[in-house]
Amino acid sequence: MYKTLKLIAALAATCLSALAFADDGARSMRGVDVAAPDQAPEIKPYVGKRPGTEAPVARTFSTQPPVIPHAVENFDEINLEGNQCMDCHSAANYKKKKAPQIGVSHFVDREGKKHAEATGGRYNCVQCHVPQIDAPPLVDNTFKGDAVKKPVKRN
């Protein structure tokens, strides 16, 4: 009889604690219900202005792709017919446009063969290079980076 009473009490305690936890809906780190749909972020304008008027942005780690320091809103979409980035940054145009040339790694394909133009794997610039917006970090962090601070050379 004592064991049965003890079992019933334990079972009742388990049920009550389960009900208490069930009432406390799961919350994300953002403080919203995890089942609630995400709110669309506010659209923020790019920090950069017209190409050629902004200084390059310092990299925060040595292997970071350079960020795009100018606005890109009026640029055409990158597709098989065209890549407007190449109008200024290609090997043929960068000196005339006084723009940084795309990196030498962009001319090497997967097999290590060098080409005169950017290879297909490096053709979609915004896959790695991103424009900047003025937005606070999503989470606090103490990242310092490991990039050596050296002056950026403009051609």
What are the residues whose beta carbons fall under 8 Å from the beta carbon of 64, sequence distance 6 or more? 147
Residue 144 CB: number of other CB atoms within 10 A? 8
Q: Of all residues in the chain, what percent carry a pLDDT higher than 70?
A: 86
pLDDT for res 114: 92
**Cα–Cα distance for residue pair 122/94, rounded to 1 Å:** 17
Q: Please answer whether residues 136 and 44 qualify as being in contact, where contact means their C-beta atoms are separated by less than 8 angstroms.
A: no
pLDDT tens sequence across 68-102: 888 888 888 888 888 899 999 988 899 999 899 99
In degrees, rounded to 5, the angle at the alpha carbon of residue 154 between the alpha carbons of residues 150 and 155 is 140
Q: Is the pTM of this model over 0.75?
A: no
